[in-house]
Structures are given as C-alpha cells and as structure tokens.
Amino acid sequence: MRSTLMVLLLACSPAQATLVLDVGPDGFPVGCSGCGTASGATLGWAFSVSTTISIDGLGVWDEAANGFGSNPVDIGLWVDGGPLLATATVTSDSALVDSVSNDGAWRFADIMAVTLTPGLYVIGSVFYDTGTLGQFDTDFSTIAAVDYLGGRQVMLMDSGLSRPDFDLPGDEGFFGPTMRLLTVTEPTAVALFAIGLAMMLWRRRPV
C-alpha cells in the first residue's frame, strides 16, 4: 500500500512550468537612459491570448545573470487599456530560470495563479537609468496561445510601475519582463481521485 501511495503521489506532481516568452541568442543589452533614478519607468510589450491560459509567475531579464544592483524590479500585468491583474517584485536574489540565450537568464517571483482568457493584455517592468538592462533587437519565441503585438512604454519618466500604453518606435522589440505558464497535466485529477480512494481503502483495512 505504501508503494502504491508513493507512485500516486509522484503521478500527482505538477508539470514543469514554461516561459510564455523567451529571447533568442542574437540580441544585445540596452538600458533606459532617462527612465529615472528614483522611481524608474515602465517598459514592456502587448500581446493577445487565443486560448485560455494560467500564469503563476512574473519574471524579468537579468543580463549576465548577475543581479540588478540595489534596485528591486517591479513587474505588472494588465488588461490592455484596463485593470491591473497581478504584480510582483523581483530582486537579485530571486530564482533564476534559464533562457535559450546565453547572455543572461530570467529572475522570477511567484504570484497567485491568474487566468487569462482570450483577449488583449500588456506586461511591463520598471527600468532605471542604471542597473536594469533589457534585450533589444532579438529573436524571440512565445507559446502557441500568445501572440506578441509590439513594445510598449510610458510617456512620463520616473513614474514607477504603471501600465505602458504607448507603442515603442520601430519593431525591433525591447524585452524586459516575461511570464511563467502554469501547466497542469490531465492525469493530475485522476491521480488525486486515486489517492483518495487508496486512503479510504487503507482506513478500511482489516484489523
């Protein structure tokens, strides 16, 4: 019985999460001169969702994977033109997630899972004059349910975290923030039912 329970518990383990967007190996690092030194300014990208997905983490690019200096990085996720859905703060000690690019990695903070139904959204992270670098003019890939629509910025510098509503000039792409997809395999529900059944049988075992 114990071995059966162990197998069922392993079957119930959540699947590994996936980056919603990852950068390629051919970009180069760019800062945000003029973003400000006190509160910084928000840059990011707009995207559409074609099928419902769930997000359980917000992350930001860490060039050379050596941290951001003294400034933590705030990240926000919004309905495009609408309300804030989630925020997170990432520091130089936050968990690293590998990228296809060898130029750096992503640092992530967990959030309570957010469901994104088909529609338009925008993600942004705060950049400062120093300490935070994004990937510019790079190839990138997204999961099948997400289409990249273009870079976004705010117009008021040193304004902190706020929804970036204005298109970035050009179409080269400037990537700071990303998201982590919550992936749950179908067998999970079956495994949970099996565990409950096994526990019930265990309680009813002959004395």
What single string gives the DSSP state of each residue in 52-68? -EEEEEEEEEEETTS--
pLDDT at site 133: 87
To which residue do tokens 């919550």 refer? Answer: 182
For residues 191 and 10, is the Cβ–Cβ distance under 8 A? no
What is the reported pLDDT for 138? 86
Q: Would you state the pLDDT for residue 136?
A: 83
Provide the b/e sequence for 20-31 (b: ≥16 CB within 10 Å): bbbbeeebeebb
Per residue in 157-174, pLDDT tens?
999 999 999 998 876 678
User: CA 60: distance to chain centroid?
Assistant: 7
| Partners of residue 115 on adjacent β-strands | 54
Please state which CATH number belongs to domain 17-182.
2.60.120
| Residue 201 in this model has a pLDDT that exceeds 70 | no
Q: What is the mean pLDDT of residues 189-207?
A: 54
pTM of the model: 0.81
- Whether residue 13 is predicted with pLDDT greater than 80 in this model: the reply is no
Using pLDDT thresholds of 50, 70 and 90, give the confidence band for residue 146.
very high
Q: Is the pLDDT of residue 126 over 90?
A: yes
Tell me what pLDDT residue 8 has: 41
Pairing of the two strands 53-63 and 177-181? antiparallel
4 membership: H or E segment, kind and range: helix 2-11
Contacts of 196 (CB under 8 A, 6+ apart): none
**pLDDT averaged over every residue in the chain:** 85
Task: For the beta carbon of residue 87, count every other beta carbon within 10 angstroms.
Answer: 14
